[in-house]
Structure 1
Amino acid sequence: MIIQKKRKSSKPSWLKKSLPKGGDYQRVRGLLSKARLHTVCQEANCPNMFECFSKNTSTFMILGSECTRNCRFCNVIPGSPLPVDSDEPMRVAKAALDLNLKYVVVTSVTRDDLEDGGASHFADTIKAIKAALPDDPKVEVLIPDFQGNIEALKIVVCAKPDVLNHNIETIPSLYPSVRPEANYQQSLDLLQNVHTIDDSMPVKSGIMVGLGETMEELEQTMADLFNHGCDILTLGQYLQPTKAHLKVEKYYSPDVFKALEKKARCIGFERVAAGPFVRSSYNAQDLFGS
């Protein structure tokens, strides 16, 4: 009697991505390395990195490569960050200029060790990019929660980014296992406070799916975001970076993502990106202009 071994489960076909051929991948990687800059593409092990680098773009990650929090889904290294690098904003601006970017996305690790959570550094980076790039460049920032510090938020908003993004990430009931050092309501309040400070600034947020949420919970979170002033929404599939991170509970098919996009539009969102490979900064320029 022959006993067949059980095959290991693999990702569904729609999550198998071909590496792009040619393009500027090596040039972008070399430029970033020479400038001593980090990208969320590399640090978070993003599945779109090869595609984005080959298209001559990336998402800059400021304030170091080590995070003061340890979210269970994130591949960024937790630890004790180095002191803030005051030259970094100018290096980001120079790299954006060298890449000929018209739309620049800047994010960061969470820096709970800093009094303003790194808000001043975000503001300096926004201003440096706006000053260095020609033809009215657009800057989108993906910020941490600043521990609910509205004064820190004001510093970033008053630097006039073109989009302010803060990801809610998941539904409230999963926060203890997914984002144990964050607070769902605090993140919603941050999004609402952006419009309190500057009502004209577009506000963006993103949700990962596949961590064990129900459709009803997802709909409620989308409604919560919309009711707290979120204008732009991204929905993407959570992928486990390493075996040490949270497991994927469910893979959503492209058809389910289409249904989620439809639900988001019914709630009131006019700008939505939903799909297995969608990330908050992926094709951000296209979503901004849609």
Structure 2
Amino acid sequence: MLTGWRKVGKYYYYFGTDGAIRHGWQRVNGRMRFFYKKSGAMAVDREISGRPVNSHGAWLAVIVLDPGHSSVVAGGSEPLGPGSSTMKAKDTSGTQGVATGVEEYKLNMDIAKALQTELKKRGYYRTFLTHTGGRAISCIERTQVANNKNADAYIRIHANGSSSQSANGALTICTTSNSPWVGNSLYTKNKKLAQCVLDSYVQATGIRKEYIWYTDEMTGNNWSQVPCTLLEMGYMSNPAEDRKMQDPAFQKKMVQGIANGVDRYFNIAA
């Protein structure tokens, strides 16, 4: 039974441990590769569905993670979207664990750093954070990091809060189909990213699935020129959910869930 790499002429093929030839996007040797569906040959030196594949047959995705809020809150206001006369606060202090007392920005940073490590393990070597904490940074400044890197996916990491301690669950936030700042093509990608991250996250964690919130009231989303979503991982205002999100074992599930969502968004097989 054939397994692993095989070269026929100038083309490379890959067979799984089951002996089946691989097709489509696959993670092989820690790299994202595309194998043509008809022939099974690996693509090299060309663009596949807008993704540049290099001479070694690898596509190097760029992912930017934004740990929401900071220990130093950016003061002042900034436009809601490009050219908008509506102004919003550059940032807020975020919420706080009702049971643990942990500040939201600390949870967001812990998850973002762990997620960066996990994504790099999965072959997403070009995974970046918008900041590493300890300084004021506005929503627009965060998003400009993703725009400047021409990210293939931009995920904003947050935790929720409510006046009701019974509120629970996870949701993602996406721009609307009528956004004055986001065109149809980018909206479609935003929607897919929001859906993939939310579905995979709740599947891995068991946290209740709320919904995708479609709104044009999020400065960071509105300024993004790349596929973007904001994940509210759970409610820090819910005592049980707050404690759960501080549990190291559960945090691993949170990270796995988001990473699985990235794989799902890019249609990457294991």
Instruction: Say whether the fold is shared (TM-score over 0.5).
Output: no
Task: Compute the TM-score of the two structures, normalised by the length of structure 2.
Answer: 0.31
Larger strand percent: 2
Larger helix percent: 1
Task: Compute the TM-score of the two structures, normalised by the length of structure 1.
Answer: 0.29
